[in-house]
Amino acid sequence: MGAMATEQQTIDEAVLGEVVAAMLGPGAVPGRWAATPLDYEITSPGTALLTRVAGEALVDGAVVPWSLLVKRVHSMRHSPILAFIPEPLREMAIRDFPWRSEVDAYTSDLAGVLPEGLRLPVVYRVQEHGDDRVTLWREDVDVDPDAEWDLPRYARAAELLGRLAARRRAPAGMPPSNGTRVYVAGRIGEGVIPALREDATWDHPLVAPAADANLRADLLTLADRVPELLDALDTLPRTYVHGDACPQNLLVTRDDPDGFVAIDWTWPGVEPVGFDLAQLLAGGGDAGRLDPAQLADVHATILAGYLNGLAAEGMDADPAQVELGYVATLVLRSAFTSIPVERLGLEPTDALRTLVARRLAYGRFLADLGLALRT
Report pLDDT for 96.
85
**Concatenated DSSP letters of 59-72:** ETTEEEEEEEEEEE
* Residue 209: Cβ within 10 Å count: 11
Predicted TM-score (pTM) above 0.85: yes
pLDDT digits (tens, 9 = 90+) for 220-238: 999 999 999 999 999 999 9
For residue 266, what pLDDT band results from cuts at 50, 70 and 90?
A: confident
For residue 19, what pLDDT band results from cuts at 50, 70 and 90?
A: very high
- The full set of domain ranges for the chain reads 7-88+101-139, 151-372
pLDDT digits (tens, 9 = 90+) for 324-337: 999 999 999 999 99
54 bridge partner residues:
34, 67
User: Is 349 a residue whose pLDDT tops 50?
Assistant: yes
The helix (run of H) or strand (run of E) holding residue 300 is: helix 295-312
Report pLDDT for 3.
33
Q: Return the DSSP state at 176.
A: P
Domains 7-88+101-139 and 151-372 share a fold: no
Contacts 24+ apart (CB under 8 A), 98-101: 98/46, 98/266, 98/267, 98/269, 99/45, 99/46, 99/73, 99/74, 99/75, 99/132, 100/73, 100/134, 101/243, 101/265, 101/266, 101/267, 101/268
Q: E strands, the chain, where?
A: 29-37, 47-59, 62-74, 118-119, 123-130, 133-139, 238-241, 250-253, 256-262, 269-272
Distance CA 17, CA 66 (A): 12
User: Is 5 a residue whose pLDDT tops 50?
Assistant: no
Q: Return the DSSP state at 308.
A: H
Distance CA 162, CA 275 (A): 10
* Residue 347: Cβ within 10 Å count: 5
User: Is 191 a residue whose pLDDT tops 90?
Assistant: no
Amino acid at 117: G
151-372: CATH number: 3.90.1200.10
**Domain 7-88+101-139: top CATH class:** alpha beta
